[in-house]
Amino acid sequence: MIHHLLRPFFLPAVSLFILLSLAGCGPAPDSSGTPLVYRLKWLYNMSVVGDLYTLEHSFFAQEGLEVDIRPGGPERDAIKELEIGRAHFGVASADQVIRAVAKGSPVVVLAQLFQANPLQWIHRAGQNLQTPADLKNRVIGITYGGNDESIMRALLAKHRIREDKVEFFSVRYDYTPFYQGKVDLWPVYQNAEGLIISEKLAQAGEEADFFNPNEFGIRFVANSIITTEQMVREHPETVSKFTRAILRGWRQSLDPANADRAVATVQRFDRDTSVSLLSKQLDATRTLMMPPSGKDFGWIDSHAWKQTAGIMFEQKLIATPVSVDEILLSRVN
């Protein structure tokens, strides 16, 4: 009789147990010596030099923290891992954070890494691409659904260029259409693959240049360090120590005096990139990350965040406007 009554609950109960086990409801930090998990946005490359430098130079340990830095990738989303409890800190781009907050995610921004978005468009030099008006009648590569699409559409709208005046080309990992000259402008991370493509063009006797939307009023924020409201509320000391350590690592890694050490650190994790290219990438990364004078590293540019949220709302990427002040924890101007 009892078996009969309980039978309908058996499958949901087993499923819930399995799901909760799979979720890996991680133990609270500090409580049992479990390392803090820090999920990066992308694979190990120069864009995470400060994170690796912090780890390699024991800045976390000096704060009494044990941190496990895990690389990101196309299928990794730090925000989701934070919510599920598989990570304590992470790196996410502003558009990811704004989308998540618009859907009720309790994510908090601790520090802004890139002060200028590294996403720019590479083109061959001497093509007279000085202003947004010069984009007319050009073939522009965009990743449909990616933030480069949002940036380019916002740029065109801001400068009142109708989209039918340009031709969009759907971009993938294969740069052949750009090398062949079928596409005039190709979106790249200027401090990473931008320099690699520039080198390849140089080998072919061509010179590359970059079209930077940031210079034309589009301040679309890129990567920031994030955590959850719960983490800030329940473990403020840990958050404080983590932020202090990671910002120290970033500051030191971008200090020209430590350039050799920074390059050596990244090379231990990214063995496929030559030292000379890593050095160039470090210089480019430094330019994109250093805050304006008078501001500390990690400074959060709230005006840029508001513009980013505004662009996303206008382009219907979020259903409701997001109040960015509520997600920017500190260091706001």
Partner 1 sequence: MLYRRIFQFLLIYLLALGLLFLFKYSLNLSDYVIPGPDEVWRTATLVFNRYLFDGLNTLYVAIVGHLLAIILATLVAIIGRQANLAGSLIKTAAYNLQAYPIVAVAPVIFILLGDGLVSRLLIAALICYFPLLLSFIGILTEPVTDIEHFYVTTGRMRWQLEVKIRAFENTAKLATVIAGSATLAMVGTIVAEFIGADAGIGYSLRIALYQSNIAKVLVALFLIGIFNSLYLTCLEFIGYLVQKKLKISPGEIR
Q: Which residues contact 67 (CB under 8 A, 6 or more apart)?
A: 35, 36, 37, 38, 54, 55, 60, 242
The region of 42-50, 92-100, 254-262, 272-280 touching partner 1 under the rule CB under 8 A is: 92-100
Which pair of structure tokens corresponds to residue 176?
Answer: 């052949």
Q: Which is nearer to partner 1, 170 or 274 (CB)?
A: 170
The region of 53-61, 139-147, 201-209, 299-307 touching partner 1 under the rule CB under 8 A is: 139-147
Interaction residues for partner 1, span 140-169 (CB under 8 A)? 143-146
**Cβ proximity of 231 and 239 under 8 Å:** yes
Return d(Cα 192, Cα 118) in angstroms, integer: 9
Q: Which is nearer to partner 1, 48 or 100 (CB)?
A: 100
The candidate with the shortest Cα–Cα distance to 196, out of 265, 277, 142, 259, is 277
The candidate with the shortest Cα–Cα distance to 121, out of 148, 101, 161, 94, is 148
DSSP3 helix / strand / coil % (the chain, rounded to 5)? 50, 15, 35
In the complex, least distance from residue 103 CB atom to partner 1, rounded to whole angstroms = 4
* Structural element, H or E, at residue 225: strand 223-228
In the complex, least distance from residue 247 CB atom to partner 1, rounded to whole angstroms = 26
In the complex, least distance from residue 28 CB atom to partner 1, rounded to whole angstroms = 15
Q: How many residues bind partner 1 (CB under 8 A)?
A: 32
Q: Which residues contact 283 (CB under 8 A, 6 or more apart)?
A: none
Q: Is 279 a binder of partner 1 (CB under 8 A)?
A: no
Q: Is 170 a binder of partner 1 (CB under 8 A)?
A: yes
Among positions 6, 10, 15, 275, the unique one binding partner 1 when judged by CB under 8 A? 15
Q: Is 8 a binder of partner 1 (CB under 8 A)?
A: no
Q: Which is nearer to partner 1, 143 or 279 (CB)?
A: 143
Residue 13, Cβ density class (10 Å: 0-12 exposed, 13-18 middle, ≥19 buried): exposed
Among positions 25, 61, 202, 275, the unique one binding partner 1 when judged by CB under 8 A? 25
Calculate the alpha carbon distances from 219 to 83, 101, 136 in Å: 28, 19, 21
Q: Is 14 a binder of partner 1 (CB under 8 A)?
A: no
Beta pairing partners, 141: 169
Among positions 3, 9, 173, 203, the unique one binding partner 1 when judged by CB under 8 A? 173
Interaction residues for partner 1, span 285-324 (CB under 8 A)? 317
Q: Is 19 a binder of partner 1 (CB under 8 A)?
A: yes
Calculate the alpha carbon distances from 46 to 73, 149, 244, 246 in Å: 14, 24, 21, 15
Among positions 27, 73, 103, 125, the unique one binding partner 1 when judged by CB under 8 A? 103
Among positions 26, 28, 30, 80, the unique one binding partner 1 when judged by CB under 8 A? 80
The candidate with the shortest Cα–Cα distance to 326, out of 302, 295, 299, is 302
Q: Which is nearer to partner 1, 128 or 176 (CB)?
A: 176
Q: Which is nearer to partner 1, 3 or 172 (CB)?
A: 172
Binding site for partner 1 (CB under 8 A): 12, 15-16, 19-20, 23, 25, 75, 77, 79-80, 83-85, 96, 99-100, 102-106, 143-146, 170, 172-174, 176, 317
